[in-house]
Amino acid sequence: SQKIEQNSEALNIQEGKTATLTCNYTNYSPAYLQWYRQDPGRGPVFLLLIRENEKEKRKERLKVTFDTTLKQSLFHITASQPADSATYLCALARDSSYKLIFGSGTRLLVRP
C-alpha cells in the first residue's frame, strides 16, 4: 500500500528565511500531490495541487516541486512569517480515485 513520509520533527526557522518541507512516498506515483495547512483545533485547508507531469507550482510565497524519480515533493515558503506557523500535510491521489492518502504532517514554527 502507498505510504507517505513527512518529517515528524518540527521545523524551527527564523522569520524571513525560506522554510522547506519534505514529502516522500513509496510505491506508485500519484497522479496528483497536494499540500494542506492545518492550524491547531482546525481542519486542514487546501494550499496547492501539482500534477505528476508538472515539475513546479507556485502561489504567492509558496512553491511546490514534484520529482517522480525521487518520489518526493518539496514545499517551500519564502520570506516566512510567524503567521506561517502551522502543521503542513502532504496528500496523494491516484488518477482513478478521488480518495486521498495523507501524511502525518510536519509542524513549522517561525520565530519572530
Q: Report the interface residues with other proteins, using CB under 8 A.
A: 4, 8, 31-32, 34, 41-46, 49, 51, 89, 93, 95, 98-100, 102-105
Tell me the HSE value of 112 on the side-chain side, using a 13 A CA sphere: 2
Residue labelled with grid coordinates 528565511 = 17
Shortest distance in whole angstroms from residue 79 CB to other proteins: 26
Q: Which is nearer to other proteins, 42 or 55 (CB)?
A: 42
Shortest distance in whole angstroms from residue 34 CB to other proteins: 7
CA distance 78 to 88: 15
Shortest distance in whole angstroms from residue 111 CB to other proteins: 24
Q: Which is nearer to other proteins, 92 or 110 (CB)?
A: 92
Contact between residue 33 and residue 97 where contact means Cβ atoms under 8 Å apart: no
Q: Which is nearer to other proteins, 47 or 78 (CB)?
A: 47
Contact between residue 99 and residue 13 where contact means Cβ atoms under 8 Å apart: no
Among 68, 62, 56, which Cα is nearest to 86's?
A: 62
Shortest distance in whole angstroms from residue 94 CB to other proteins: 10
